[in-house]
Amino acid sequence: QPLEEVVGSALAACRPVLQGRPVTVALADGLPLLSLDAVLFERVLVNLLENAARYTPAGSALAIRAEALDQTVRLVVDDQGPGLPPGREEALFEKFERGERESATPGVGLGLAISRAIVQAHGGTIHGANRLEGGRVAGARFTIELPRGTPPEDDGSAAAAADEDIR
């Protein structure tokens, strides 16, 4: 799957909740195709975008970036909200864990737990952190890394090898 398509469909699905927000998307050129379940992975991005829409001030900007590293493709979602409760960045990925100040906002605390389960099922990792600028929290950052996997070959040799296996 091209990452562009999954990011595009997640953004389209979130359009109603993201209204009025500037969203920057910067996907590096030549990202490798990824072996992923598009429906489930879209759910991961939708969870992150819905959280950003819910827990950051209306109209504040979001940024999505992706780049290829040696072994992985890294996808980063940044917001400009109040950030994650310090020291609880990992705990928020547990089922039913929510921030204190969120208790008044509807939600059950499952979004990040589900997101992590999906990313891990793809052999990847997901973490949350606060972005610091000048010693101050400038917003939350969620980072996903997915294994690059083996790109499909198109010279016919992969198909021939599969044929051999069957025989």
Q: How many amino acids of this chain bind ligand ADP (CB under 6 A)?
A: 21
Which x/- pattern over 134-153 shows residues binding Mg ion (rule: CB under 5 A)? --------------------
In the sheet that 125-133 helps form, which strands lie side by side, from edge to edge? 23-27, 62-68, 72-79, 136-147, 125-133
8 binds, among Mg ion, ligand ADP, none (CB under 5 to 8 A by kind): none
Q: Which residue's CB is nearer to ligand ADP, number 19 or number 105?
A: 105
The amino acid at 158: A
Among 26-34, 37-45, 100-108, 153-161, which window interacts with ligand ADP (CB under 6 A)?
100-108
DSSP of 95-117, one letter per residue? TT---GGGGGS---S-HHHHHHH
Q: How far is the CB of 66 from ligand ADP (least distance, A)?
A: 18
Region 3-42 residues binding ligand ADP, contact defined as CB under 6 A: none
Among 75, 77, 92, 111, indicate the residue that binds Mg ion (CB under 5 A): 111
Q: 153-160 long-range contacts, Cβ below 8 Å, gap at least 24?
A: none
List residues binding Mg ion (CB under 5 A). 51, 111
List residues binding ligand ADP (CB under 6 A). 47, 51-52, 55-56, 79, 81, 84, 92, 97-99, 102, 107-113, 140
